[in-house]
């Protein structure tokens, strides 16, 4: 009885370690070696379009609405203390430090991460990956690497766009609708936001989240059981695992950057 439980625990642990190992080997194989710029660049552009440009709409709309909600909720509390000129720093700092990188990563995992997992899983199920190997084309270099780099490049850019649009949304509600002084909105923001402490740390955060999201999404697709059920499971796992990993790493990064 106890031996059975122990065996289960051991088997689970070995499986997890194996998964990490396979994910590491996949990333290693995809990223190491001399990149062929002439062949790789068009593939990267194609993936930047699929992963970055097509995610733009959801990022713009949700950024605008999150900025507007922040301004609306912040205003109702701040006005009680007569401190509504602090609305600008409230909106800007929450977006730059936390909401921009984190919400972008969650949306990105749902919008692009799941699509990548499903695409690669289906490639595996229809044996396109094996076909490439037969033709001496390395699927890691041709399929995995462009998607990985496209994700790592486009997510920080999407997070910056999200934050900028959110601040404009906060301006829309706070200044144009609720009547906070417009000059105060920007000047209090400028007095409280630091380029390195806030803007750069937000960018670093979103680069880390991009690495996590792309690695998990690619690995889940590449490692999927090649059946329709396996692909659906892998897609679900991508969204769940990336969301949890992003939130956990957000706590660690926040503690390192702003906690000390």
Partner 1 sequence: MTTRKIEILVGGFIVLAIAAFLMLSLQVASSGVAGTGQSYRLHAKFENIGGLKVRSPVKVGGVVVGRVAAIELDTTYYRPVVTLEINNSYSNFPETSTLAILTSGLLGEQYLGLQPGFLDETVEILADGDYIEDTKSALVLEELIGQFLFNRGN
What is the residue whose two structure tokens read 């990993």? 245
Given a contact cutoff of 8 angstroms between Cβ atoms, the answer to whether 104 and 84 are in contact is no
Q: Rule CB under 8 A: say whether 258 interacts with partner 1.
A: no
Binding of residue 167 to partner 1 (CB under 8 A): yes
Q: Does 257 bind partner 1 (CB under 8 A)?
A: no
Please work out the total of residues on this chain that contact partner 1, with binding judged by CB under 8 A.
28
Paired tokens of 258 = 């702003």
**Could you say whether residue 112 binds partner 1 (CB under 8 A)?**
no
Q: How many Cβ atoms from other residues are within 10 Å of residue 255's Cβ?
A: 10
Cβ at position 118, least distance to partner 1 in Å: 20
189 binds partner 1 (CB under 8 A): yes
Q: Which of 235, 38, 35, 44 is nearest to 122 (CA)?
A: 235
Residues whose CB falls within 8 Å of the CB of residue 252, separated by 6 or more in sequence, listed in order: none
Single residue of 26, 27, 43, 48 touching partner 1 by CB under 8 A:
48
Q: Which is nearer to partner 1, 18 or 46 (CB)?
A: 46
Q: Indicate if the alpha-carbon torsion angle 131, 136, 137, 139 is positive or negative.
A: positive
CB nearer to partner 1: give 109 or 165.
165
Residues that bind partner 1 (CB under 8 A): 42, 45-46, 48-49, 52-53, 56, 92, 96, 154, 157-158, 160-161, 163-165, 167, 186, 189-191, 193-195, 198-199
């Amino acid at each position: 009885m106890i031996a059975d439980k122990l065996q289960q625990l051991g088997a689970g642990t070995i499986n997890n370690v194996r998964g990490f190992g396979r994910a590491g080997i996949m990333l290693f194989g995809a990223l190491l070696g001399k990149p062929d710029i002439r062949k790789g660049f068009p593939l990267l552009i194609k993936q930047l379009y699929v992963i970055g440009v097509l995610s733009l709409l959801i990022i713009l709309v949700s950024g605008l609405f999150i900025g507007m909600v922040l301004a609306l909720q912040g205003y109702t509390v701040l006005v009680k203390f007569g401190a509504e000129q602090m609305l600008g720093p409230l909106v800007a700092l929450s977006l730059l430090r936390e909401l921009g990188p984190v919400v972008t990563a969650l949306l990105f995992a749902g919008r692009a991460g799941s699509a990548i997992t499903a695409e690669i899983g289906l490639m595996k199920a229809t044996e396109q990956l094996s076909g490439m190997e037969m033709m001496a084309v390395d699927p890691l270099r041709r399929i995995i690497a462009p998607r990985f780099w496209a994700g790592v490049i486009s997510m920080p850019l999407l997070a910056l766009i999200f934050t900028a649009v959110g601040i404009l949304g906060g301006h829309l509600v706070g200044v144009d609708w609720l009547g906070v002084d417009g000059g105060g909105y920007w000047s209090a923001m400028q007095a409280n936001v630091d380029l390195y402490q806030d803007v750069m740390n937000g960018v670093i955060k979103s680069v880390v989240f991009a690495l996590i999201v792309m690695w998990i999404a690619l690995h889940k697709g590449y490692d999927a059981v090649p059946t329709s059920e396996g692909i659906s499971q892998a897609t679900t796992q991508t969204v769940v695992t990336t969301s949890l990993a992003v939130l956990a790493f957000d706590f660690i990064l926040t503690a390192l950057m702003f906690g000390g």
